[in-house]
Amino acid sequence: MKSIIKNAYVALLALAVTSCSEDVLNLAPKNDITADQVYSSEQGYKEAFLKTYASLAMTGGGGEGSSDLAGIDAGQSDFLRLYWNIQQLTSDETLCGWNDPGVPDMVYGTPDADNIMVKGIYARSLYTITLVNEFLRESTPEKLSARGITNTAVIESYRAEARFLRAYQYWVLLDLFGNPPFITEENTIGKVAPEQIQRAELFTYIESELLAIEPQLALPRQNEYGRADQGALWTLLSRLYLNAEVYTGSPKYTEAVTYAKKVIDGGYALTTSYANLFLEDNYETSSSELILTINYDGFYTKNYGGTTFLINSTIDGAMSPASFGVPTGGWGGNRTTSALPAVFDDYSGETDKRATFFGDKLANDDLGVFTDGLRITKFKNIKSTGEAGASQGGTFSSLDFPLFRLADVYLTFAEAVLRGGNGGTAAEALAYVNQIRRRAYGNTSGDLTSLTLDEILDERSRELYFEGYRRTDLIRFGRFTGGNYIWPWKGGVKDGRSIEEFRNLLPLPTSDVIANPNLTQNNGY
């Protein structure tokens, strides 16, 4: 089931590349192996293709401690760790007591253009885009013919998936930065600095790419586990459309309903146990709900990001790390603000089983103290049978991360309907939300009788907390900047304060703005 992890690891080792700065869009991945050697066989194409996936789960091709990105510690350069920190630390759900570079400003919601995590996610997303561009350049019909590759149908399916991954990474840049540099396989490498694309134009590009490759992707749930199919594409489209008013000023809630409904009708189903979604064997117990995952392996893809980071950063030695499948782990970093348990009717977990809080102090008085606030026990490198997952050295995790899952799509459908989208009814929206709540409560005692947008925002927090959604959600609801919603340590003060509206976008890294004369910094920075 998880063989793609090992294949991707081999691909990374075979195609290890030199480190890249933020200006990776203007570079070609390169090492001592020429393109004609790498792409001399169908197996070579498969390995290059798998590297595009591996760039989501690994930090570099040299194993533990290696990084494809220059200027950032390898342990912090993993895609999920970077993206999660930006989505979560800036939000009302999460605090981190570490004083590592960039962390305090991210917690305050006030990172600047030199913040290491801002630079990291920018470079990581552009790096994956660069890999995809290079793969597409080398897999044209002309290149395949010249190299004697005859199984072109397989390569075409690889190309479609690679384009999906590029569209996803451009969506990350659209969502976080708005106006990033832009380049595709059609551009000539190294001739001129990449042009900057404006947010509305990038929205249109992502939309058109996804619609173009839709018929080329595997049907929902028909691809190899961990690889994109039409269900993943529809999920990304529904997310793109749900946030369209933020991105372009023009709402597309009907389109969000349409593509959410495609996913809902695509053969997926909520898994019976919420907890199983975040246990090491989720690829077996929860496959009906998982739409797209980032796959990890405690032996083959060791790094200090991904779910290794999620598990270890949310527990410490006093919480029995062995019970989380990381007996030598427990870093004591991330815990909740008081705002997160407050959205639960009962945060003990006795009624709503999604509440996985540990500790008894809700208030957040001292940012640097891990026990100052409730801790989260949601993610575990433990199988549903109680057996520990694979973990070399007792620190690394084999838990796969659910990048897209059905419950989020139910909530997308419900919100889009409430915001005026056609193609669904309020009764359907309520029914989907109550399906989620019945799993959480184990019965109908938690059923809602009506829905409001405020209730949707709270339900998204209850269902999706610590999964990397929150910053985007708060911005869409108009709650991230300004002073109409305050949480502990927002803006850098204990009781919270208003932050400026321009912070709805992150700044482009200073180093790239200096290096590329085509880039204009986002307003306010």
- Whether 200 and 331 share a structural domain: no
Of 192, 214, 236, the domain-final residue: 214
How far is residue 381's CA from residue 387's CA, in Å, rounded to a whole number?
Answer: 9
Residue 508 counted as domain residue: no
- Tell me the CA distances in angstroms from 155 to 15, 46, 137, 401, one per residue in order: 18, 8, 12, 27
The secondary structure of 98-122 as a DSSP string is: ---TTHHHHHHT---TT-HHHHHHH
Residues 6 or more apart whose CB falls under 8 angstroms from that of 54 comprise 8, 9, 11, 12, 301
* Per-residue model confidence as pLDDT tens for the chain (525 residues): 465 554 554 444 444 444 444 455 554 444 445 677 889 899 999 999 999 999 999 988 766 677 888 888 888 899 999 999 999 999 999 999 999 999 999 999 999 999 999 999 999 999 999 999 999 999 999 999 999 999 999 999 999 999 999 999 999 999 999 999 999 999 876 667 899 999 999 999 999 999 999 999 999 999 999 999 999 999 999 999 999 999 999 999 999 999 999 999 999 999 999 999 999 999 999 999 999 999 999 998 889 999 999 999 999 999 999 999 999 999 999 999 999 999 999 999 999 999 999 999 999 999 999 999 999 999 999 999 999 999 999 999 999 999 999 999 999 999 999 999 999 999 999 999 999 999 999 999 999 999 999 999 999 999 999 999 999 999 999 999 999 999 999 999 999 999 999 999 999 999 999 999 999 999 999
Residue 23 counted as domain residue: yes
Tokens of 63: 């194993």
- Whether 208 and 313 share a structural domain: no
- Whether 176 and 50 share a structural domain: yes
Residue 19 counted as domain residue: yes
Handedness of CA 462, 467, 473, 479 (dihedral sign): positive
196: helix, strand or coil: strand
- Whether 210 and 92 share a structural domain: yes
The count of structural domains within the chain is 2
Residue 241 counted as domain residue: no
How far is residue 187's CA from residue 207's CA, in Å, rounded to a whole number?
Answer: 20
Of 214, 245, 274, the domain-final residue: 214
Among 371, 378, 417, 376, residue whose Cα is nearest residue 399: 378
Residue 86 counted as domain residue: yes
Among 404, 174, 382, residue whose Cα is nearest residue 278: 382
- Which CATH number is 174's domain given? 1.25.40.390
Tokens of 399: 């838990």
- Whether 318 and 199 share a structural domain: no
Residue 175 counted as domain residue: yes
Of 340, 365, 383, the domain-final residue: 383
Total number of residues shown for the chain: 525
Among 469, 462, 460, 434, residue whose Cα is nearest residue 448: 434
Residue 268 counted as domain residue: no
Residue 129 counted as domain residue: yes
- Whether 191 and 319 share a structural domain: no
Tokens of 273: 């146990």
Domain span at residue 176 reads 1-214
Q: Could you give the maximum distance between any two Cα atoms of the chain, in Å? A: 66
505: helix, strand or coil: coil
- Whether 206 and 337 share a structural domain: no
- Tell me the CA distances in angstroms from 439 to 275, 399, 469, one per residue in order: 10, 22, 21
- Whether 206 and 313 share a structural domain: no
336: helix, strand or coil: strand
Helix pair 426-441, 453-464: axis angle to 10 deg:
30
Among 132, 123, 12, residue whose Cα is nearest residue 66: 12
